[in-house]
Amino acid sequence: MKFGVIIFPGSNCDYDAYRAVKDVLKEDVEFLWHQGTSLNDCDCVILPGGFSYGDYLRTGAIARFSPVMKEVTKFARKGGLVLGICNGFQILLESGLLPGAMLRNQSLRFVCKHVYIRTEVTQTPYTNLCKRHQVLKIPVAHSDGNYFIADRELRELKANNQIVFRYCTASGKSEPGCNPNGALDNIAGICNEQRNVLGMMPHPERASEGILGSEDGKYLFRSVVRFIEKEKRI
Amino acid sequence: MAKAKSTKKKRPYQAVVYVKLKDGVLDPQGSTIKRALAEMGYKGIDEVRSGKVFEITLNSRNKEETKQLLDQICKKLLANPVIEKYNFEVR
């Protein structure tokens, strides 16, 4: 299978994601340029973290109009796997591929630290190797991760099991105190109804090797590989 | 008449666009400013809501067309309808 990592002007986790896939997972991966009009037959497209277009206007608001996003949207609508990490999540929200929006962190500070997240849903291409309620230690690094969605849509997210990750304690309790940014309902990551698009604020690529303090991020990437390989056998 | 209208020359219009958070959407910046003002000794400030202002110069045939254009621009880019509302003035 092949991963693609999109480079927007201002992406800065593109090489981290590339390395996690290529050197840790030993899978095929290539960079995709934001001006490109093809996803080069990638099976999973990663929108990496960073500050696309300097976060001007709103995070992700300008990147979503990149030519490559037209292809990403088409790909996602056909069921292709799209993983948005941090700024990538913000771009997916702005593009409407995922519901909701990001507000400034409640603390108004840039938060950069390891957090614990609880896997709420395991039937996704990204979490099929996790156990239900498995706690993952994965770092966050953002100023705008305060997830917001209107009440009615929040109810829909819950009803459809689209909340994939919630901030929690090391032992897996989802309490307000472990929420690094004020996100509604401790939401750290959500997927679309079809489950092929996932957005998350924590950075799994930064938790893919022991030397980085955690290897829990590998669960996500390995789940994707497992999902795609299973799909290809059929 | 229709032809005369379509060939009418464009002229520059000045617009001011205001983008604000919708009521009920938490505004961490606004509430921090409010706290700061209280600490500075300003009493009786009930609420501070932050927002953005854009001054735009654009060319169009008439005021109506200008408004339509601005509405489009706001919907597509300047405001995120999930959390924000907007209004504008045209001169």
How does DSSP classify residue A149?
Answer: -
User: Is A106–B26 a contact, with Cβ atoms under 8 angstroms apart?
Assistant: yes
B8 band by pLDDT with thresholds 50, 70 and 90: confident
Q: Name, in order, each residue with C-beta under 8 angstroms of B60's C-beta and a sequence gap of 6 or more.
A: B10, B11, B13, B66, B69
pLDDT recorded at residue B7: 66
Residue A37 CB neighbour total at 10 angstroms = 9
Residue B90 scores a pLDDT above 80:
yes
| Whole-complex ipTM | 0.83
Residue A52 CB-half CA count within 13 A: 30
B32 band by pLDDT with thresholds 50, 70 and 90: very high
User: Is B28–A146 a contact, with Cβ atoms under 8 angstroms apart?
Assistant: yes
pLDDT recorded at residue A41: 97
Residue A126: closest CA among A181, A175, A89, A90:
A89
Chain-centre distance for alpha carbon A147: 13
Which pTM value belongs to this model?
0.93
For residue B3, the distance in angstroms to the closest alpha carbon of chain A comes to 34
Asked if B72 reaches chain A (Cβ–Cβ under 8 Å), the answer is no
| Element housing A168 (H / E) | strand A163-168
For residue A60, give both structure tokens: 């992700």
What are the pLDDT digits (tens) for A110-158?
Answer: 999 999 999 999 999 999 999 999 999 999 999 999 999 999 999 999 9
Residue B39 CB-half CA count within 13 A: 6
Where exactly are the structural domains of chain B?
10-90
Residue B1 scores a pLDDT above 80:
no
Q: For B22, which residue in chain A has the nearest alpha carbon?
A: A150
Question: How do strand A111-119 and strand A101-103 relate by DSSP bridges?
Answer: unpaired
Residues of chain A in contact with residue B21, where contact means CB-CB under 8 angstroms, are 103
pLDDT recorded at residue B5: 55
Residues of chain B in contact with residue A65, where contact means CB-CB under 8 angstroms, are 77
- Give every residue of chain A whose pLDDT is below 50, as ranges: none
pLDDT recorded at residue A234: 76
pLDDT recorded at residue A233: 86
| Element housing A200 (H / E) | strand A197-200
Give the residues across from A6 on adjacent strands: A32
Radius of gyration of chain B from its Cα atoms, rounded to whole angstroms: 18
Phi, psi of A141 (to 5 degrees): -160, 90
**What distance in Å separates the CA atoms of residue A216 and residue A227, rounded to the nearest whole number?**
18
**What distance in Å separates the CA atoms of residue A51 and residue A126, rounded to the nearest whole number?**
24
For residue A109, give both structure tokens: 């500070």
How does DSSP classify residue B63?
Answer: H
Residue A200: closest CA among A37, A29, A83:
A83
Residue B2 scores a pLDDT above 60:
no
Domain B10-90 has CATH 3.30.1280.10: yes
What are the pLDDT digits (tens) for B38-56?
Answer: 999 999 999 999 999 999 9
Strands, E, within A34-148: which ranges? 44-47, 81-85, 101-103, 111-119, 135-142, 146-148
| Element housing B86 (H / E) | strand B84-90
Q: Name, in order, each residue with C-beta under 8 angstroms of A80's C-beta and a sequence gap of 6 or more.
A: A39, A43, A44, A45, A196
Q: Collapsing DSSP states into helix, strand and coil, what is residue A229? A: helix
User: Is B28–A101 a contact, with Cβ atoms under 8 angstroms apart?
Assistant: no
Cα dihedral A6, A95, A25, A233 sign: negative
Q: Are B13 and B24 in contact (CB under 8 A)?
A: no
The chain-wide mean pLDDT, for chain B, equals 92
Spell out the domains of chain A, with CATH numbers in brackets: 2-233 (3.40.50.880)
Q: Are B21 and B84 in contact (CB under 8 A)?
A: yes
**What distance in Å separates the CA atoms of residue A62 and residue B88, rounded to the nearest whole number?**
21
Residues of A catalogued as catalytic: 86, 203, 205
